[in-house]
Amino acid sequence: MKEKGIKKATLAVAYGFKRQEVTNILSGTTKGPRANSFILQVIEDYGIE
């Protein structure tokens, strides 16, 4: 995400999450189908490999 210049707050707004939710998902604290879906969508939308 650093390479792409993507901030957690930006992701939160773009995908309808609270900033803390995004932080928890990216750190691995929050897991489950919703978290997995979010991560996959971000990877697809931003072309992250």
Residue 5 or 38, more confident: 38
Rounded Cα distance between 36 and 14, Å, is: 16
Q: Considering the domain boundaries, does residue 16 fall inside one?
A: yes
Q: How many domains does the chain have?
A: 1
Query: Cα(first)–Cα(last) distance of the chain, in Å?
Result: 10
Q: Is residue 33 part of a domain?
A: yes
**HEC letters along the chain:** CCCCCCCHHHHHHHHCCCHHHHHHHHHCCCCCHHHHHHHHHHHHHHCCC
* Residue 41 maps to a domain: yes
Does residue 32 fall inside a structural domain? yes
- Residue 37 is part of which domain span? 8-46
pTM of this prediction?
A: 0.85
- Tell whether 1 is covered by a domain: no
In a domain, 2, yes or no: no
Task: Tell me the per-residue pLDDT of 7-35, one tens digit each, with 9 for 90 and over.
Answer: 999 999 999 999 999 999 999 999 999 99
